[in-house]
Amino acid sequence: MKQRIYFNEVVTRDGFQMEPAFVPTEAKIALINDLSQCGYAKIEVTSFTSAKAIPMLRDAEEVMGRIQRVSGVEYTVLVPNLRGAERAMDVKPDEFNLVMSTSETHNLSNLRMPRENSFSTLREVMERFGTQVPINVSLSACFGCPMEGDVPQAEVMRWAQRFADLGVRGLTICDTTGMAQPRQVATMCEALRHRFPDLQLTLHFHNTRGMGLANVLAAVQSGIDRFDGSLGGLGGCPYAPGASGNICSEDAIHMLDAMGCNTGIDLQSLLLIARQLPEIVGHAVPGQVAKSGRITDLHPAPESVAQLQKEFS
Ligand code: COA
Ligand code: ZN
């Protein structure tokens, strides 16, 4: 049987949060409605952060309230604190994706508080809302911090354990600034699967240094079956120096399909949507398969080849 891989599309959250020009609310809603038809397991629609911190996503309520939800797709939202959780609860998402960093410096930069305060805040969110909505926690900078450098695996495991003890449904292990390399990924994934066999484990890679798909492969080979990706390869954390795009969803899905995995995604439809993305954001995007076509999209041989075929037959 084909290996099942569950994909979470994060373009309208991670992808858009660092875009320089505001993407109109209507365009966000239309994009999510289109993506909902492609077979994703999950879509991270937006984040309920402060509009001063992330002005691009200041229309979170309207977007969540107006999208057409498709059954079988989970609609998740990023929540950084209690205020965000209260706002998010009003629009009834299928999941809260809470966030904190495993690096003290990155947490101070991104969430303006020490990690211990973030943990207490998120624990409070879980206590208040955990019986009403499934909780996932995204741990940032798990493979290195652009300011502190190395983040030891033991430190990642420590924070993962604390959230597992609180009863989260899942953990997302994030390589926020593309510092992970495949051997490190394999070691981390094996340790996580061994320690947390009952949790939904998702890997979130950025392609900042071109290692994104190699890291996906390493994670798949270590038994991970859930990934975040961003259409076109957009993305990045505004509070992490040098951050750039997530792994490109359609490139990753194309690779997984070619390897014989079952992603559940209609790649052809997805590519049509990906080709509209440069117009939506007003600039070219890094994704490759939308430009090159799939490996199965063949080209006619040139006339000269037909001549040669005749000559040599
Ligand atoms: N939604 C809306 N407004 C919020 C909010 C939320 N979730 N959290 C805080 N605010 C508002 C407060 O009401 C306050 O508004 P005011 O200045 O008009 O009084 C202001 O933001 C500051 O509040 P404070 O509690 O001091 O928060 P902060 O300034 O320490 O910011 C965060 C904390 C986490 C909300 C903010 O840093 C943030 O949103 N960061 C973005 C994190 C992110 O999404 N990063 C990228 C993804 S990993
Ligand atoms: Zn990210």
- At 199-222, the pLDDT tens digits run 999 999 999 999 999 999 999 999
Residue 249 C-alpha from the chain's centroid: 9
Is residue 62 within 8 Å of residue 25, measured between CB atoms?
yes
Is residue 136 within 8 Å of residue 172, measured between CB atoms?
yes
Instruction: Give ligand 1 pocket residues (Cβ under 6 A).
Output: 17, 47-50, 52-54, 80-81, 83-84, 87, 99, 110-112, 140, 237, 239
pLDDT at 243: 85
Alpha helical stretches, state H, the chain: 25-35, 60-66, 82-89, 104-111, 115-129, 153-166, 182-195, 212-221, 249-258, 267-274, 277-281, 289-292, 303-312
Residue 137 to residues 89, 97, 174, 215, Cα–Cα distance (Å)? 16, 5, 10, 20
Beta strands 42-47 and 170-175 are: unpaired
What is the DSSP-derived secondary structure letter of residue 133?
A: S
Q: Is the pLDDT of residue 50 over 90?
A: yes
Provide the whole-model pTM: 0.96
Q: Is the pLDDT of residue 88 over 90?
A: yes
pLDDT at 272: 98
Tokens of 178: 């593309």
pLDDT digits (tens, 9 = 90+) for 120-159: 999 999 999 999 999 999 999 999 999 999 999 999 999 9
Nearest CA to ligand 1 atom 47: 237
Annotated active-site residue in 38, 142, 237, 248: 237
Give the angle 36-214-216 at the CA atoms, nearest 5°.
35
Amino acid 140 reads: S
Task: Give the number of the atom of ligand 1 that is nearest the alpha carbon of residue 140.
Answer: 48
Nearest ligand for residue 49 CA: 1
Task: Give the number of the atom of ligand 1 that is nearest the alpha carbon of residue 238.
Answer: 46
Q: Is the pLDDT of residue 1 over 90?
A: no
**150 CA from centroid of ligand 2 (Å):** 18
Nearest CA to ligand 1 atom 37: 111
- Quick one: which of 61, 107, 65 has its CA closest to 86? 61
pLDDT digits (tens, 9 = 90+) for 227-265: 999 999 999 988 888 888 999 999 999 999 999 999 999
- Quick one: which of 214, 138, 213 has its CA closest to 176? 138
**18 CA from centroid of ligand 2 (Å):** 10
Computed over every residue of the chain, the mean pLDDT equals 97
| Among 12, 50, 81, 110, residue to substitute to test ligand 1 (most atoms within 8 Å of Cβ) | 50
Nearest ligand for residue 50 CA: 1
| Ramachandran area for residue 155 (φ above 0: left; ψ -120 to 50: alpha; else beta) | alpha
Task: Tell me which long-range contacts 64-72 makes (C-beta under 8 A, separation of at least 24).
Answer: 64/88, 64/91, 64/93, 65/91, 66/25, 66/29, 67/29, 67/32, 67/33, 67/36, 68/33, 68/36, 69/36, 70/36, 70/37
Task: Tell me which long-range contacts 255-261 makes (C-beta under 8 A, separation of at least 24).
Answer: 255/213, 255/216, 255/217, 256/5, 256/216, 256/220, 258/295, 259/220, 260/2, 260/3, 261/2, 261/3, 261/4, 261/5, 261/220
Nearest ligand for residue 54 CA: 1
Question: Would you call 261 a catalytic residue per the annotation?
Answer: no
Nearest CA to ligand 1 atom 20: 50
Is residue 249 within 8 Å of residue 231, measured between CB atoms?
yes
Place of tokens 């373009």: 11
